[in-house]
Amino acid sequence: MLKYTIKRIFLFIPTVLIISFVIFFIIQLPEGDFVSSYVARMQAEGEVFTAQDVADLRTQYGIDQPWLVQYFNWMEKIITKGDFGYSFAYARPVWSVIMDRLVLTIIVSLTILIFTYLVSIPIGLYSALHQYSVGDYFFTALGFLGMATPNFLLAIILMYVSFKWTGDPLLGLFSTEMLQEGVHLYNFGEFLQRMIIPTIVIGTAGTAGIIRTVRGQMLDEQTKQYTLTARAKGLPEYVIVYKYCLRAVLNPVASGLAKALSNIFSGSTISAIVMNLSIQGPVLYAALKSQDMYLAGTILLVQAVLVVIGTLLSDLALAWLDPRIRFDRKG
Amino acid sequence: MSLFKKKEKSEESYYLASQWTLIRKKLMAHKLAVTSMIVLGILYTTALFANFLAPYGLEDFSSDYKNATPTAIHWMKEGAFVGPHVYKMSYTMNKETFKREWEEDTSVMYPLKFFVKRKPYRLFGIIPSDVHLFGTEAIGDEEPPRILLFGGDNLGNDLFSRVLIGSQISLTIPFVGTLISFVLGVFLGGISGYFGGMVDNVIQRVIEVLSALPTIPLWMALSAAIPPDIPVAQMYLMITMIISLISWTGLARVVRGQFYALKNEDYIVAARIAGVSNMKIILKHMVPGFMSYLIVNLTLGIPNMIIGETSMSFLGLGMRSPATSWGVLLKETQDINSVAQYPWRLIPLIAVIVTVLAFNFLGDGMRDAADPYK
């Protein structure tokens, strides 16, 4: 187990390096750069730029060099100084821009993650243990609907419903009052209220997916030899289900951890844009759009690192949950 | 006696039936899957004849019907049945909300007619025609009122027609895309799983890197490479390529896993020892072994592609006007205020949900049927 963990950690570094390279390549792929989009925007507002001004701006931002050089400079600074570069659009170091929204992003994402697991695993188990009951049909239908509706469109529907009912589409996480005075105990209730739609919207697809996996997996386990043996031995049903079957059922759920972890950082971009949530996703989208390359690059890099760490963690969780995997790797 | 014989006969036909016959039988017994198949059949048929079924073409719009409410079809007049007809709609601007308020002018009745001639189009892109399934006809010289079943958009287009014509793109992109990613996935997953070693390692790392990247930057980068004013057909092809380039990795993993599982089976080893060529082993002995799983995987992959295309177009990265797809139509719902004022703009969403659900149910039924010996 230890040897395996160490090997995986060593494989981690080259993977991240390759990913960072690909990310940088993709970001610079669209034509133009930050200066050209900036100049175009300014010219639309009536500013005048000479070719010299534009060239000066490029030199100032260091984007007059070929992208490979830019990439190596960027990487060098990250590795030696922990400096992730400078965001052109925010005129601040990238890291401070990211930090701005990190806390809120983590709160929102963790809430959604916990909601997803808390709701989906019990429902999945219920559906499997009461197969073909009314409840099973209800949740299966709901799960399918949840998967079939694109998240961001679900957001629009819910906002529309909320608008029709209460006259307020509940756009964003903070009311204007909260923005001015900050979140305190007395308006925390309203903040929670504003969390409802984002949680449902972003959590639904994941919930639907996990319900289906848990249900299918539990049904499979029910007919296996070991379950039959346990039942023949006269073990109480709850021991069979919760002590033995549940381990096998949680196996695929644990593999999903990798994606979940990266989503905490900057998942559900489109929904967040639609719902006007001030979390990381929309920042990434805006940065990509305006070619604020170091900001976009850093967000993507952190996210990729989280995916790799998540994969590692979920593999370790799998080994812990399922002894067969552990012994397989020894042999 | 005869009952016994009958049973024997049915058992015999079960043992004699090929794998595919059994799969088909089992699939046909899955009611939800059959229903979904029928729904999909209807959807694809309407997409095929969309130009004929839609009362108006894409260039056939009138600014008089900007954001018009869905046209009401009446059957009775003054208590007597007169058949389906519509009335001319006119609007007045509400000075406070700047909303158009629509009113029917019930003095002149315009009956609904079948096979109405309007602007010419080409059926299947080849056969020229100007007949539409239904519509209204002019009485006298006046332009007849338009019939907008799903209301109008902000240019005065008929949303119903646009949903129908948009289905041509929204329903076929996933198909073509799946085909491309099928070829890529089977080919790359196949060599990865069959040969193993170095090749496997390289392909696996590529897949890992590709799937570690979130889709949105990939979409943005790739769709920025599409020139802004290329013909619709070319744009269609490129969007399809983008979607399938991103989604082949999942399939490649499945294929690789299957190859891994099968390659040390006795019958494969036997074939190898007997000197059968690699290509023949793969195509003749291995692929049929997991073909049914592949088809299930493909069917379940299609809904993701539909949602992918919808999301891309929704963000303005996919199909662009003048092309119409469901995603392009839903782009108008981006703003909650416009949805609140013109809720019928959400109608294309129903089309998306129905299609995605149907593919999911069909895929589910196929998954149950894929292993008919169980």
Most confident residue range from A49-63, A69-83, A218-232, B45-59: A218-232
Asked if A65 and A207 sit in the same domain, the reply is no
pLDDT tens digits for range B207-233: 877 777 777 777 777 777 777 777 777
Asked if A39 and A134 sit in the same domain, the reply is no
Asked if A169 and A291 sit in the same domain, the reply is yes
Interface contact flag, A27 B310, Cβ < 8 Å: no
pLDDT tens digits for range A278-297: 788 888 888 888 888 888 88
Q: Quote the number of domains for chain A.
A: 2
User: Is the distance from CB of B366 to CB of B40 less than 8 angstroms?
Assistant: no
Domain assignment present for A288: yes
Interface contact flag, B205 A148, Cβ < 8 Å: no
- The stretch B191-213 carries a mean pLDDT of 80
pLDDT tens digits for range A60-108: 777 777 788 888 888 888 888 878 888 878 888 888 888 888 888 888 8
Domain assignment present for A268: yes
* Residue at token pair 């379940």: B300
At residue B6, the pLDDT reads: 64
Q: Is the pLDDT of residue B9 over 70?
A: no
Interface contact flag, A169 B303, Cβ < 8 Å: no
Residue where one domain finishes, among candidates A23, A48, A83? A83
All residues of chain A having their beta carbon less than 8 Å from the beta carbon of residue B302 are: none
Domain assignment present for A58: yes
At residue B150, the pLDDT reads: 80
Domain assignment present for A266: yes
Which uninterrupted H or E stretch holds B77? strand B74-77
Query: H helices within B315-346, ranges in order?
Result: 326-330, 336-341
How far is the alpha carbon of B310 from chain A, nearest alpha carbon, in Å? 8
Angle of CA points A236, A242, A244, to nearest 5°: 85
Asked if A137 and A73 sit in the same domain, the reply is no
Domain assignment present for A331: no
All residues of chain B having their beta carbon less than 8 Å from the beta carbon of residue A164 are: 340
How would residue A265 be classed by pLDDT, with cut points 50, 70 and 90?
low
Please state, in angstroms and rounded to a whole number, the distance separating the CA atoms of residues B312 and B122.
28
Asked if A132 and A47 sit in the same domain, the reply is no
How far is the alpha carbon of B213 from chain A, nearest alpha carbon, in Å? 7
**Could you tell me the residue range of the domain that residue A39 belongs to?**
33-83
Q: Is the pLDDT of residue B18 over 90?
A: no
At residue B39, the pLDDT reads: 92
Asked if A72 and A163 sit in the same domain, the reply is no
Asked if A116 and A200 sit in the same domain, the reply is yes
All residues of chain B having their beta carbon less than 8 Å from the beta carbon of residue A140 are: none
Return mean pLDDT, chain A: 79
Asked if A118 and A260 sit in the same domain, the reply is yes
- The stretch B26-32 carries a mean pLDDT of 80
pLDDT tens digits for range B282-304: 888 887 777 777 777 788 788 88
**CATH number for position A180:** 1.10.3720.10
Beta bridge partners of A87: A92
Q: Which residue has the higher pLDDT, B156 or B202?
A: B202
Query: H helices within A130-175, ranges in order?
Result: 134-148, 151-166
Best interface-test mutation with A: which of B39, B206, B210, B216 has the largest number of A CBs within 10 A? B216
Pairing relationship of beta strands B80-93 and B100-123 according to DSSP bridges: antiparallel
Please state, in angstroms and rounded to a whole number, the distance separating the CA atoms of residues B87 and A17.
67
Interface contact flag, A307 B212, Cβ < 8 Å: yes
At residue A266, the pLDDT reads: 57
Domain assignment present for A24: no
pLDDT tens digits for range B251-275: 888 788 778 778 778 888 899 899 8
At residue A331, the pLDDT reads: 37
The single-letter code of the amino acid at B261 is A
Q: From A153, which residue of chain B is nearest by alpha-carbon distance?
A: B349
Please state, in angstroms and rounded to a whole number, the distance separating the CA atoms of residues A210 and A251.
11
Asked if A50 and A144 sit in the same domain, the reply is no
How would residue A181 be classed by pLDDT, with cut points 50, 70 and 90?
low
Domain assignment present for A28: no
Q: Is the pLDDT of residue A330 over 50?
A: no
Asked if A68 and A138 sit in the same domain, the reply is no
All residues of chain B having their beta carbon less than 8 Å from the beta carbon of residue A304 are: 212-213
At residue A68, the pLDDT reads: 84
Interface contact flag, A23 B217, Cβ < 8 Å: yes
Most confident residue range from A29-43, A116-130, B19-33, B58-72: A116-130
By a Cβ cutoff of 8 Å, what residues of chain A touch chain B?
A: 15, 18-19, 22-23, 26-27, 29-31, 144-145, 147-150, 152-153, 156-157, 159-160, 163-164, 169, 171, 262, 266, 269-270, 274, 284-285, 288-289, 296, 300, 303-304, 307-308
Alpha carbon B93 to chain centroid distance?
A: 38
All structural domains of chain B, each given as residue ranges with its CATH number in brackets, are 63-157 (no CATH), 165-370 (1.10.3720.10)
Best interface-test mutation with A: which of B213, B313, B338 has the largest number of A CBs within 10 A? B213
- The stretch A50-54 carries a mean pLDDT of 78
Q: From B358, which residue of chain A is nearest by alpha-carbon distance?
A: A148
At residue A232, the pLDDT reads: 92
Domain assignment present for A48: yes
Asked if A127 and A273 sit in the same domain, the reply is yes
Asked if A158 and A77 sit in the same domain, the reply is no
Tokens at B85, concatenated: 């007809």
Which uninterrupted H or E stretch holds A25? helix A2-28
Q: Is the pLDDT of residue A192 over 90?
A: no
ipTM above 0.85, yes or no: no
Tokens at B252, concatenated: 């490649």
In 3D, which of B218, B237, B184 has the Cα closest to residue B312? Answer: B218
Among residues of chain B, what percentage have pLDDT more than 90?
3
Which residues in B97-231 belong to E strands, given as ranges? 100-123, 127-136
How far is the alpha carbon of A128 from chain B, nearest alpha carbon, in Å? 16
How far is the alpha carbon of A212 from chain B, nearest alpha carbon, in Å? 11
